[in-house]
Amino acid sequence: MKPIVAALFSLLLLGVHAATPCSSPLSRFRGEDAYTIDGRNVMTVLYNGTQSLHVSQLGPNLRFENDIDYTKTLGSRVQHKTARVVRLLTPDLREIRTSLNQDEDSLSLLDQPFAARIDTKTLAALAGLKQSIPFTASSPLGGAPLHGTLRAAGMLEKLAAGGVRVAFTASGPMRGPLPELPTASIDGTISLVGTAEYDAAGALVRLRSRLRIHGVLAASGQSGPIEILYVRRFAPDCSPAAAPAASPVPTPSP
């Protein structure tokens, strides 16, 4: 089962998004970052927007270009932002080189827990899952090992023919600085839960993930308990036409 997990959690993407049932080239996403210190919420940031992913050949490498268009809401302040991430994948599919990264809010499709596309062999293996399987993966924050389980996920809504849905849960240690707080240090644990849905062509069409950090934050000679929550949700953008950005709504739990 190790090859299945490696294929899912690798960021070495194997292709572009296949057409979704609504034939949309965009993925709509929502996100939430919430910070709680000493039991008090000190900041909540909401994100709402769309992303597109284009793949092309550049010499011997594959070039991935991810464009992001979104609003960022912090209290009464609403910002419209755009970002682009460009990465090159070497021919041996082992090394990713980032040539451009404007994604300061960590929203890119290329930085989510699951690969944007899996091959037919991995897709078939997932479809045949009968029980939970263990896995180990690197933490998206700090690189520490995360240990967890992967299983087939049954939900009320019906999947398209040939599609699969999997649920994942993992946890591990979290020590060191945070991207948002480079001068502070945290000592605690990190947990990740969510679901991922692939269509019959192996394209990731939906993803819900919730990453939570519990620990003690030390900064400027002081320390205290902290909890940080990162929520991300991706789904096909099936709207009939582009609409003006609306006020963000609470993100559903995975």
Q: Spell out the domain ranges in the chain.
A: 2-236
Q: Which pLDDT band holds residue 5 (cuts at 50, 70, 90)?
A: very low
pLDDT at 31 over 90: yes
Q: Which pLDDT band holds residue 79 (cuts at 50, 70, 90)?
A: very high
Interval 73-81 mean pLDDT: 96
Q: Give the span between the Cα atoms of 167 and 154, in whole angstroms.
A: 9
Question: Per-residue pLDDT tens for 102-114?
Answer: 998 889 888 887 7
142: its two tokens: 């700090």
Which of the two residues, 215 and 13, has the higher pLDDT score? 215
Residue 102 parent element (H or E): none
Q: Which amino acid, residue 148?
A: G
Q: For 109, phi and psi rounded to 5 degrees?
A: -55, -30
The answer to whether 35 and 44 have CB atoms below 8 angstroms apart is: yes
85: its two tokens: 């991430």
At residue 2, the pLDDT reads: 42
**Residues in Cβ contact with 176 at an 8 Å cutoff, skipping those fewer than 6 apart:** 142, 185, 186
Q: Give the span between the Cα atoms of 167 and 150, in whole angstroms.
A: 6
Q: Which pLDDT band holds residue 96 (cuts at 50, 70, 90)?
A: confident
* Residue position matching structure tokens 């991935």: 64
Interval 3-29 mean pLDDT: 48
Q: Give the span between the Cα atoms of 236 and 243, in whole angstroms.
A: 15
> What angle separates helix 120-127 from helix 2-9, to the nearest 10 degrees?
120
